Amino acid sequence: MDRWQAMRVFVRVAESGGFAAAARQLNMSPPAVTRAVAALENRIGARLLTRTTRSLMLTEAGGRYLEDCRRILADMEEAEALAAGAYATPSGTLTITAPVQFGRLYVLPAITDFLARYPAVSVRALFLDRVVNLIEEGADVGIRIGHLADSGLVAVRVGTVRRVLCAAPDYLDRNGTPQSMGDLHRHATIGLMGTRLSYERHSPAEGPTRGATQSRLICNTIDAVLAAALAGQGIAPLLSYQVAPSVAEGRLRLVLDDPDAVPLPVHIVTLEGRRAPAKVRAFIDLAAARLQADPMVNPDRG
Protein backbone atom coordinates (compact mmCIF):
# COMPACT_ATOMS: atom_id res chain seq x y z
CA MET A 1 0.00 0.00 0.00
CA ASP A 2 1.43 3.39 -0.98
CA ARG A 3 1.91 6.20 1.50
CA TRP A 4 -1.05 8.26 0.26
CA GLN A 5 -3.49 5.39 0.60
CA ALA A 6 -2.12 4.65 4.07
CA MET A 7 -2.76 8.28 5.01
CA ARG A 8 -6.36 7.96 3.77
CA VAL A 9 -6.77 4.86 5.91
CA PHE A 10 -5.39 6.62 8.98
CA VAL A 11 -7.74 9.60 8.47
CA ARG A 12 -10.72 7.27 8.14
CA VAL A 13 -9.74 5.36 11.30
CA ALA A 14 -9.42 8.62 13.26
CA GLU A 15 -12.72 9.99 11.95
CA SER A 16 -14.72 6.78 12.38
CA GLY A 17 -13.30 6.02 15.82
CA GLY A 18 -12.12 2.49 15.17
CA PHE A 19 -10.38 0.02 12.86
CA ALA A 20 -13.46 -2.10 12.21
CA ALA A 21 -15.60 0.90 11.27
CA ALA A 22 -12.89 2.23 8.96
CA ALA A 23 -12.51 -1.19 7.37
CA ARG A 24 -16.24 -1.34 6.59
CA GLN A 25 -16.23 2.16 5.11
CA LEU A 26 -13.15 1.48 2.99
CA ASN A 27 -14.24 -2.04 1.98
CA MET A 28 -11.02 -3.45 3.45
CA SER A 29 -10.30 -6.16 5.98
CA PRO A 30 -9.60 -5.04 9.57
CA PRO A 31 -6.10 -6.59 9.50
CA ALA A 32 -5.26 -4.60 6.35
CA VAL A 33 -6.36 -1.38 8.05
CA THR A 34 -4.30 -2.21 11.14
CA ARG A 35 -1.21 -2.93 8.99
CA ALA A 36 -1.60 0.36 7.10
CA VAL A 37 -1.63 2.39 10.32
CA ALA A 38 1.24 0.39 11.78
CA ALA A 39 3.28 1.02 8.62
CA LEU A 40 2.69 4.75 8.97
CA GLU A 41 3.76 4.68 12.63
CA ASN A 42 6.93 2.76 11.70
CA ARG A 43 7.72 5.20 8.89
CA ILE A 44 7.18 8.25 11.12
CA GLY A 45 8.74 6.77 14.22
CA ALA A 46 5.92 7.87 16.50
CA ARG A 47 2.73 6.34 17.83
CA LEU A 48 -0.35 7.94 16.25
CA LEU A 49 -3.10 6.13 18.11
CA THR A 50 -3.53 4.84 21.63
CA ARG A 51 -5.51 1.60 21.60
CA THR A 52 -7.42 0.05 24.49
CA THR A 53 -9.99 -2.72 24.50
CA ARG A 54 -12.80 -0.16 24.48
CA SER A 55 -11.51 3.02 22.88
CA LEU A 56 -9.18 4.51 20.33
CA MET A 57 -7.58 7.90 20.94
CA LEU A 58 -5.21 10.10 18.98
CA THR A 59 -1.86 10.80 20.57
CA GLU A 60 -0.54 14.36 20.49
CA ALA A 61 1.58 13.46 17.47
CA GLY A 62 -1.41 11.71 15.91
CA GLY A 63 -3.58 14.82 16.26
CA ARG A 64 -1.01 16.97 14.47
CA TYR A 65 -0.46 14.33 11.80
CA LEU A 66 -4.21 13.99 11.21
CA GLU A 67 -4.51 17.69 10.32
CA ASP A 68 -1.49 17.43 8.03
CA CYS A 69 -2.95 14.37 6.33
CA ARG A 70 -6.26 16.12 5.73
CA ARG A 71 -4.49 19.10 4.17
CA ILE A 72 -2.20 16.98 1.99
CA LEU A 73 -5.01 14.73 0.77
CA ALA A 74 -7.21 17.75 0.04
CA ASP A 75 -4.39 19.29 -1.99
CA MET A 76 -3.99 16.03 -3.93
CA GLU A 77 -7.71 15.86 -4.69
CA GLU A 78 -7.60 19.51 -5.75
CA ALA A 79 -4.70 18.85 -8.11
CA GLU A 80 -6.50 15.90 -9.66
CA ALA A 81 -9.70 17.89 -10.05
CA LEU A 82 -7.78 20.73 -11.66
CA ALA A 83 -6.17 18.36 -14.14
CA ALA A 84 -9.60 16.87 -14.90
CA GLY A 85 -11.11 20.29 -15.61
CA ALA A 86 -13.40 20.56 -12.57
CA TYR A 87 -12.01 24.03 -11.90
CA ALA A 88 -13.02 25.30 -15.32
CA THR A 89 -16.76 24.58 -15.31
CA PRO A 90 -19.07 24.54 -12.26
CA SER A 91 -20.01 20.95 -11.51
CA GLY A 92 -20.50 18.54 -8.62
CA THR A 93 -22.10 19.10 -5.22
CA LEU A 94 -21.80 22.43 -3.42
CA THR A 95 -22.44 22.52 0.34
CA ILE A 96 -23.57 25.88 1.73
CA THR A 97 -24.20 26.85 5.35
CA ALA A 98 -26.08 29.85 6.74
CA PRO A 99 -28.14 30.88 9.79
CA VAL A 100 -31.70 29.54 9.52
CA GLN A 101 -33.61 32.79 8.92
CA PHE A 102 -30.93 34.35 6.75
CA GLY A 103 -30.70 31.16 4.74
CA ARG A 104 -34.44 30.98 4.13
CA LEU A 105 -34.89 34.67 3.31
CA TYR A 106 -31.74 35.52 1.37
CA VAL A 107 -29.55 32.51 0.59
CA LEU A 108 -32.23 30.17 -0.75
CA PRO A 109 -33.24 32.62 -3.52
CA ALA A 110 -29.56 32.85 -4.51
CA ILE A 111 -29.34 29.04 -4.55
CA THR A 112 -32.42 28.81 -6.76
CA ASP A 113 -30.87 31.25 -9.23
CA PHE A 114 -27.54 29.40 -9.06
CA LEU A 115 -29.12 26.01 -9.81
CA ALA A 116 -30.97 27.45 -12.79
CA ARG A 117 -27.72 28.83 -14.21
CA TYR A 118 -25.54 25.80 -13.58
CA PRO A 119 -27.38 22.52 -14.29
CA ALA A 120 -24.26 20.41 -13.61
CA VAL A 121 -24.20 21.49 -9.95
CA SER A 122 -26.30 20.21 -7.06
CA VAL A 123 -26.54 22.00 -3.72
CA ARG A 124 -26.65 20.76 -0.14
CA ALA A 125 -27.96 23.56 2.09
CA LEU A 126 -27.28 23.44 5.84
CA PHE A 127 -29.26 26.17 7.62
CA LEU A 128 -28.20 26.11 11.29
CA ASP A 129 -28.18 28.74 14.04
CA ARG A 130 -24.62 27.96 15.08
CA VAL A 131 -21.18 28.51 13.63
CA VAL A 132 -20.38 25.62 11.32
CA ASN A 133 -16.79 24.44 11.01
CA LEU A 134 -16.39 24.21 7.23
CA ILE A 135 -13.73 21.50 7.38
CA GLU A 136 -15.42 19.27 9.95
CA GLU A 137 -18.82 19.41 8.27
CA GLY A 138 -17.63 19.27 4.69
CA ALA A 139 -18.99 22.68 3.71
CA ASP A 140 -17.68 24.66 0.76
CA VAL A 141 -19.23 28.06 1.52
CA GLY A 142 -20.65 29.65 4.66
CA ILE A 143 -22.56 32.80 5.52
CA ARG A 144 -21.33 34.36 8.76
CA ILE A 145 -23.07 37.17 10.64
CA GLY A 146 -20.81 38.90 13.14
CA HIS A 147 -17.14 39.62 13.47
CA LEU A 148 -15.01 36.78 12.15
CA ALA A 149 -12.78 34.83 14.48
CA ASP A 150 -11.61 32.24 11.92
CA SER A 151 -8.18 33.28 10.69
CA GLY A 152 -8.09 30.48 8.13
CA LEU A 153 -10.98 31.72 6.03
CA VAL A 154 -11.24 33.84 2.92
CA ALA A 155 -14.11 36.29 3.42
CA VAL A 156 -16.15 38.54 1.16
CA ARG A 157 -18.13 41.19 3.01
CA VAL A 158 -21.62 41.51 1.57
CA GLY A 159 -23.59 43.57 4.08
CA THR A 160 -24.30 44.78 7.60
CA VAL A 161 -27.15 44.04 9.98
CA ARG A 162 -28.00 45.34 13.46
CA ARG A 163 -30.21 44.53 16.40
CA VAL A 164 -33.53 46.33 16.38
CA LEU A 165 -36.53 46.49 18.70
CA CYS A 166 -39.92 45.92 17.13
CA ALA A 167 -43.54 45.20 18.01
CA ALA A 168 -46.85 44.61 16.28
CA PRO A 169 -49.05 47.68 15.65
CA ASP A 170 -51.78 46.05 17.75
CA TYR A 171 -49.47 45.81 20.78
CA LEU A 172 -48.35 49.44 20.41
CA ASP A 173 -51.94 50.64 20.01
CA ARG A 174 -52.85 48.92 23.30
CA ASN A 175 -49.75 49.78 25.32
CA GLY A 176 -48.22 52.84 23.74
CA THR A 177 -44.83 53.25 22.11
CA PRO A 178 -41.75 53.47 24.36
CA GLN A 179 -39.88 56.73 23.90
CA SER A 180 -36.59 55.57 25.40
CA MET A 181 -34.86 52.38 26.47
CA GLY A 182 -35.73 53.30 30.06
CA ASP A 183 -39.41 52.81 29.23
CA LEU A 184 -38.92 49.12 28.48
CA HIS A 185 -39.43 48.06 32.10
CA ARG A 186 -43.09 49.07 31.70
CA HIS A 187 -43.58 46.92 28.59
CA ALA A 188 -43.90 43.25 27.84
CA THR A 189 -40.78 42.00 26.11
CA ILE A 190 -40.11 38.76 24.28
CA GLY A 191 -36.78 37.14 25.04
CA LEU A 192 -34.50 34.81 23.13
CA MET A 193 -32.99 32.14 25.33
CA GLY A 194 -29.39 32.96 26.19
CA THR A 195 -29.66 36.71 25.52
CA ARG A 196 -30.58 39.75 27.63
CA LEU A 197 -32.01 43.13 26.71
CA SER A 198 -30.52 45.89 28.87
CA TYR A 199 -31.64 49.47 29.31
CA GLU A 200 -30.65 52.65 31.14
CA ARG A 201 -33.20 54.62 33.18
CA HIS A 202 -32.82 58.17 34.52
CA SER A 203 -34.50 59.62 37.59
CA PRO A 204 -33.87 62.94 39.40
CA ALA A 205 -33.40 61.17 42.71
CA GLU A 206 -31.20 58.25 41.66
CA GLY A 207 -29.66 59.44 38.42
CA PRO A 208 -28.92 56.89 35.66
CA THR A 209 -29.41 53.24 36.55
CA ARG A 210 -28.96 50.23 34.29
CA GLY A 211 -31.13 47.17 34.26
CA ALA A 212 -32.29 44.27 32.11
CA THR A 213 -35.81 43.43 31.05
CA GLN A 214 -37.52 40.43 32.63
CA SER A 215 -39.34 38.82 29.73
CA ARG A 216 -42.49 36.89 30.59
CA LEU A 217 -42.10 34.99 27.31
CA ILE A 218 -38.71 33.50 26.46
CA CYS A 219 -38.27 31.39 23.32
CA ASN A 220 -35.41 29.23 22.14
CA THR A 221 -35.70 29.99 18.40
CA ILE A 222 -35.76 33.14 16.30
CA ASP A 223 -38.88 31.89 14.49
CA ALA A 224 -40.76 31.66 17.79
CA VAL A 225 -39.69 35.15 18.93
CA LEU A 226 -40.77 36.59 15.59
CA ALA A 227 -44.11 34.76 15.68
CA ALA A 228 -44.78 36.03 19.21
CA ALA A 229 -44.00 39.60 18.17
CA LEU A 230 -46.34 39.31 15.19
CA ALA A 231 -49.03 37.99 17.54
CA GLY A 232 -48.80 41.16 19.64
CA GLN A 233 -47.15 39.60 22.69
CA GLY A 234 -44.66 42.39 23.24
CA ILE A 235 -41.48 44.10 22.09
CA ALA A 236 -38.84 41.81 20.59
CA PRO A 237 -35.12 42.33 20.03
CA LEU A 238 -34.26 40.82 16.66
CA LEU A 239 -31.78 41.41 13.87
CA SER A 240 -32.77 43.84 11.15
CA TYR A 241 -32.80 41.22 8.37
CA GLN A 242 -35.06 38.94 10.43
CA VAL A 243 -37.84 41.53 10.64
CA ALA A 244 -37.31 43.42 7.38
CA PRO A 245 -40.09 41.65 5.42
CA SER A 246 -42.62 42.09 8.26
CA VAL A 247 -41.68 45.75 8.70
CA ALA A 248 -42.04 46.34 4.96
CA GLU A 249 -45.51 44.74 5.07
CA GLY A 250 -46.57 46.85 8.06
CA ARG A 251 -46.97 43.83 10.33
CA LEU A 252 -44.22 45.07 12.67
CA ARG A 253 -42.96 48.52 13.60
CA LEU A 254 -39.47 49.51 14.70
CA VAL A 255 -39.82 51.27 18.04
CA LEU A 256 -36.40 52.31 19.35
CA ASP A 257 -32.77 52.57 18.40
CA ASP A 258 -30.89 50.23 20.71
CA PRO A 259 -27.79 52.14 21.90
CA ASP A 260 -26.02 48.89 22.73
CA ALA A 261 -26.55 47.50 19.25
CA VAL A 262 -23.29 47.11 17.33
CA PRO A 263 -23.49 46.79 13.54
CA LEU A 264 -22.73 43.21 12.57
CA PRO A 265 -20.96 42.48 9.29
CA VAL A 266 -22.23 39.77 6.95
CA HIS A 267 -19.59 37.73 5.12
CA ILE A 268 -19.48 34.89 2.65
CA VAL A 269 -16.59 32.67 3.73
CA THR A 270 -14.71 29.78 2.21
CA LEU A 271 -11.50 27.93 3.04
CA GLU A 272 -8.16 29.67 2.64
CA GLY A 273 -5.14 28.11 1.01
CA ARG A 274 -7.09 26.05 -1.50
CA ARG A 275 -7.74 27.18 -5.02
CA ALA A 276 -11.51 27.39 -5.13
CA PRO A 277 -13.21 25.21 -7.76
CA ALA A 278 -15.51 26.80 -10.31
CA LYS A 279 -18.68 25.87 -8.41
CA VAL A 280 -17.46 27.82 -5.34
CA ARG A 281 -16.28 30.85 -7.30
CA ALA A 282 -19.50 30.97 -9.31
CA PHE A 283 -21.74 30.81 -6.24
CA ILE A 284 -19.77 33.43 -4.32
CA ASP A 285 -19.87 35.79 -7.30
CA LEU A 286 -23.62 35.33 -7.73
CA ALA A 287 -24.55 35.47 -4.03
CA ALA A 288 -22.28 38.44 -3.29
CA ALA A 289 -23.81 40.47 -6.10
CA ARG A 290 -27.35 39.69 -4.91
CA LEU A 291 -26.69 40.39 -1.24
CA GLN A 292 -24.69 43.57 -1.82
CA ALA A 293 -27.59 44.93 -3.90
CA ASP A 294 -30.27 43.96 -1.35
CA PRO A 295 -31.35 46.93 0.81
CA MET A 296 -32.51 44.52 3.54
CA VAL A 297 -28.91 43.34 3.97
CA ASN A 298 -27.21 46.55 2.86
CA PRO A 299 -29.45 49.34 4.17
CA ASP A 300 -26.91 52.04 3.29
CA ARG A 301 -27.23 51.11 -0.37
CA GLY A 302 -31.03 50.91 -0.43
Q: Which of 53-57, 119-123, 196-200 has the lowest mean pLDDT?
A: 196-200
Topology (CATH level 3) of domain 92-144+273-295: D-Maltodextrin-Binding Protein; domain 2 (3.40.190)
Residues 6+ apart with CB under 8 A from 127: 97, 98, 99, 100, 103, 104, 107
Q: Are 301 and 295 in contact (CB under 8 A)?
A: yes
In the predicted structure, residue 273 carries a pLDDT above the cut 50:
no
Q: Where in the chain is the domain with CATH 3.40.190.10?
A: 92-144+273-295, 163-256
User: What pLDDT sits at residue 202?
Assistant: 45
Topology (CATH level 3) of domain 163-256: D-Maltodextrin-Binding Protein; domain 2 (3.40.190)
Quick one: average pLDDT of 198-225? 67
- Tens digits of per-residue pLDDT, 276-297? 888 999 999 999 999 999 988 8
Q: With bands split at pLDDT 50, 70 and 90, how would you rate the model's confidence at 259?
A: low
CATH class (in words) of the domain with range 3-84: mainly alpha
Q: Are 36 and 6 in contact (CB under 8 A)?
A: yes
Nearest to 242 by CA among 260, 266, 259, 218: 266
In the predicted structure, residue 24 carries a pLDDT above the cut 80:
yes
DSSP-derived 3-state class of residue 121: strand
Average pLDDT score over the chain: 87
- Tens digits of per-residue pLDDT, 89-105? 888 999 999 999 999 99
